Amino acid sequence: SLFGLPDQAAHERVLFATDEQTGLKTILAVHSTARGPAFGGCRFWSYGNELAALNDALRLAQGMSLKNALANLPFGGGKAVILKPAGEFDRTALFAAFGRAVASLNGAYITAEDVGTTTGDMRIVQQHTQFVSGIPRDGAFGGDPSPKTAWGVFVSIEAGVRLHLKRDTLEGVRVAVQGLGAVGWHLAEFLHKAGAKLLVADVDAAKVARAQELFGAQAVHVNEILAADVDVLAPCALGAVLNAGTVPQIRAKLVAGAANNQLATAADGDTLHGRGVLYLPDYLVNAGGIVSVAREFRNEGEESAVMAEVSQIRDRVAELLDRIRVSGNTPAREADAWARSKLVAG
């Protein structure tokens, strides 16, 4: 449906905006404003077709509603995607036009960085709307949310290792990191410092080589990283990596990573669970970035307060495991129900 995803609550509004001069084609999806304005980043991506872009916007916006609710933020969920123009384009003019599209929603949607967008892009957006975050400020925290996202994933892995693998520290724990981008790189650094043994894969060979050099990581082919013989798998690249083809091959006992929408379908979460793999839902563990940009937007607190709030994700992982013990649900289904129960005015 153009109005929402199958079997899910419809999105409140979806704006398709174009700008002939710059070639902008963007979709801004507002899933829910029940808790407050819809907050979620802007993805800049080459989509195979326009329906794929719409599907991505709808799925990501809904994920933001669940993520913001579980993180107890006074924000709803939304997301924007910009379809990367096929030919030459003026990036500044394109993001200026995007800023005007965000402004047209009068605060129902607040944007920030996501895959393919930078703090520089958000500075341009800021010239056209106040409803943007993730911009570095002199003498105050803010800007690139990726290190905060990585910290949230790291504390989740720590909690999962302690509670599910029954190991007190990450010393010697084998972790496969898929994708050494903005989040994956910081995560690898945190894991290395904690004594974990890293196996890494990225389509960018230079990043892999740096991880080998700096973290003593073992390089794994991109087609083999999901099936690596490890304790923990951290998908930090693409969505839908946990699917009917990959789930039977996963050897890790714990899956926790930054990538959004890791489960291709809810059934894949059931299969993982059936195989004894603990999957920590992406929108629970990767909320560190939105916690950071949300605080920045409200001009609240300082770096240490942001880190303390991000670290609370560790407690939520423990709470999720407690809830599962009571309900008998899989973690994915339990987190979904928990988040949806919070999709109400705060």
Residues involved in catalysis? 79
Residues engaged in binding ligand NAD (CB under 6 A):
114-115, 145-146, 149, 178-184, 201-204, 207, 222, 236-239, 258-260, 286, 289
Q: How far is the CB of 246 from ligand NAD (least distance, A)?
A: 12
Whether residue 61 contacts residue 3, with contact meaning beta carbons closer than 8 Å, is answered with no
Minimal distance in Å, beta carbon 80 to ligand NAD? 13
The residue sitting closest to ligand NAD, measured at its beta carbon, is: 181
**Residue 20 C-beta: closest distance to ligand NAD, Å:** 29
Q: Which is nearer to ligand NAD, 164 or 207 (CB)?
A: 207
Closest CA to 145 of 132, 156, 136, 155: 136
Nearest 10 degrees: Cα torsion 169, 173, 177, 183? 10
- CB within 8 A of 134, min separation 6: which ones? 41, 112, 113, 119, 122, 142, 143, 144, 145, 292, 293, 296
CA Rg value for the chain: 19
- The least CB distance from residue 179 to ligand NAD, in Å, is 3
Q: Which CB atom, from 159 or from 236, has the smaller least distance to ligand NAD?
A: 236
Query: Within its chain, how far is the Cα of 302 from the centroid?
Result: 22
Nearest to 338 by CA among 322, 323, 318: 323
The amino acid occupying position 1 is S
- Position of tokens 């943007």? 132
Looking at this protein, which amino acid is placed at residue 280?
L
Nearest to ligand NAD of 160, 288 (CB atom)? 288
In the complex with ligand NAD, which residue's Cβ is closer, 207 or 329? 207
What is the C-alpha separation between 293 and 290, in angstroms, rounded? 5
Q: How far is the CB of 23 from ligand NAD (least distance, A)?
A: 22
Q: What is the Cα–Cα distance from 272 to 248, expressed in whole angstroms?
A: 8
Q: Which CB, 125 or 329, lies closer to ligand NAD?
A: 125
Tokens 């999957």 sit on residue: 279
Looking at beta carbons only, is 272 or 313 nearer to ligand NAD? 313
Smallest gap from Cβ 238 to ligand NAD, in A, equals 5
Q: Which pair of structure tokens corresponds to residue 56? A: 């991505």
Amino acid, single-letter form, for residue 111? T
